[in-house]
Structure 1
Amino acid sequence: MLPWSISNIERFIAVSTTVAAPEKSVGTAYLLWFFLGAVGAHQFYLGKTGRAISYIFTLGWLGIGLLIDLFTLPKQVRAVNGTPAA
């Protein structure tokens, strides 16, 4: 048997092509919130597409959602990054 059987090659390719997603930044999330929050840019950045689309149609839930995000963005970023709460 060859040292590089098909199953070994498949495992090697799977491992070499796996790339970790970069961590999201709280600073970037706040910048997007400040400048484009009413259209949900910070929610798109965090991968929350459904919530972001709802922001577009309601202008950030008429500002209430934006106010909530002002205080909860760090927690949302930690959840997306998979880091424990501080």
Structure 2
Amino acid sequence: MKIKLFLSALMLTFGALTISYASFPVEKTTTNNVTVVENQEDELSSPATADSGKSQVTALILVALIGGLGIHRFYLGYTWQGIVQLLTLGGCGIWALIDLIRIITGDLQPKNGSYSKTL
């Protein structure tokens, strides 16, 4: 049972890492039958925009519930540290506890900026 849960969490983690977003030109026809090509970028089309909207509350919930798996590190953009935490089960819980305190105090920020929503 524990192995199935661990493998499910592992597959979910690596599945989330492989998601990519694309921005592409959109053709629009006006009333004069003129085709206009616009480069439409919304919130999900740009990885830089998607990274900037991190919530401190979400990071806190992730570290509190499944901190030993390091999912909060993946969420904050620290992929290699997330992998190490996943393999060591959060440093036997010690690293996850330190991250919990750092997220509460605001010391552990997202890799590419700061939180858009704080406590």
Same fold (TM over 0.5): yes
CA-atom RMSD in angstroms: 2.3
Q: Percent identity, aligned pairs only?
A: 38
* 1:38 Cα deviation from its structure 2 partner: 0.7
- The aligned residue for residue 111 of structure 2 is 80
| Structure with higher strand content | 2
* 1:71 Cα deviation from its structure 2 partner: 1.6
Task: Please say if 1:63 is aligned against 2:93.
Answer: yes
Deviations 1:14-45 (A, max 9, x none): xx537423421110001111111111110110
Unmatched segments (≥5 aa) in structure 2: 1-37, 115-119
In 1, distance between residues paired with 2:64 and 2:77?
A: 18
| Structure with higher helix content | 1
* 1:81 Cα deviation from its structure 2 partner: 5.4
TM-score under structure 1 length normalisation? 0.66
- The aligned residue for residue 3 of structure 1 is none
Runs of 4+ in 1 over 3 A off after TM superposition: 16-19
Count of residues in Structure 1 that have an aligned counterpart in Structure 2: 71
In 2, distance between residues paired with 1:82 and 1:48?
A: 12
Give 1:1-86 correspondences, 5 Å limit: 13=39, 16-17=40-41, 19=46, 20-21=49-50, 22-73=52-103, 74-77=106-109, 79-80=110-111, 82-83=113-114
In 2, distance between residues paired with 1:81 and 1:75?
A: 14
